[in-house]
Amino acid sequence: MNRKIAVSLILIVLVAGWIGFSVYRYTNQIVVINIVGPIYDFQKTVSELNDAFYNPNVKAVILYLNTPGGIAYSCIEIAEYVKIVGEVKPLIAVMGSECASGGYYIASFAKKIITYNNTITGSIGVLAVWVDLTKYYEKQGIKVWVWSTSKEKEFGAPWRSPTEEEKAAIQDEVNKIFEKIVRDIKENRNLSSEVLEELKSGKVFYGWEAVKLGLADEVGDMKKALDEASTMAGLTFHIVVSSTMNPKQRFLRAIGLI
What pLDDT score does 17 carry? 56
Nearest partner of 123 among 107, 144, 147, 143, judged by Cα: 107
List, in order, residues 6 or more apart from 27 with CB less than 8 Å away: 56, 57
Do the Cβ atoms of 210 and 121 come closer than 8 Å? yes
- Chain centroid, CA 99 distance in Å: 10
What pLDDT score does 152 carry? 86
Q: What is the pLDDT of residues 61-108, one digit of tens each?
A: 999 999 999 999 999 999 999 999 999 999 999 999 999 999 999 999
In a domain, 86, yes or no: yes
CATH number, domain at 85? 3.90.226.10
Integer Cα distance of 206 and 98 in angstroms: 9
In a domain, 102, yes or no: yes
Do the Cβ atoms of 122 and 94 come closer than 8 Å? no
Task: Return per-residue pLDDT of the chain as tens, 258 residues.
Answer: 576 666 555 566 555 555 666 788 899 999 999 999 999 999 999 999 999 999 999 999 999 999 999 999 999 999 999 999 999 999 999 999 999 999 999 999 999 999 999 999 999 999 999 999 999 999 999 999 999 898 889 899 999 999 999 999 999 999 999 999 999 999 999 999 999 999 999 999 999 999 999 999 999 999 999 999 999 999 999 999 999 999 999 999 998 888
Phi, psi of 113 (to 5 degrees): -115, 125
What pLDDT score does 3 carry? 66
Integer Cα distance of 85 and 55 in angstroms: 11
Integer Cα distance of 187 and 179 in angstroms: 12
Q: What is the pTM of this model?
A: 0.91
Nearest partner of 101 among 124, 77, 70, judged by Cα: 124
Integer Cα distance of 41 and 48 in angstroms: 13
In a domain, 90, yes or no: yes
In a domain, 35, yes or no: yes
What pLDDT score does 23 carry? 82
Do the Cβ atoms of 100 and 123 come closer than 8 Å? yes
In a domain, 162, yes or no: no
In a domain, 6, yes or no: no
- Full domain range(s) for residue 71: 29-124+193-236
In a domain, 99, yes or no: yes
Nearest partner of 25 among 58, 62, 49, 50, judged by Cα: 58
Task: Specify which residues 219 forms β-bridges with.
Answer: 115
**Cβ-based burial of 55 (10 A; exposed 0-12, middle 13-18, buried ≥19):** middle
Number of folded domains that form the chain: 1
Question: Which three-class secondary structure state does DSSP give residue 218?
Answer: strand
What pLDDT score does 57 carry? 97
In a domain, 197, yes or no: yes
What pLDDT score does 6 carry? 60
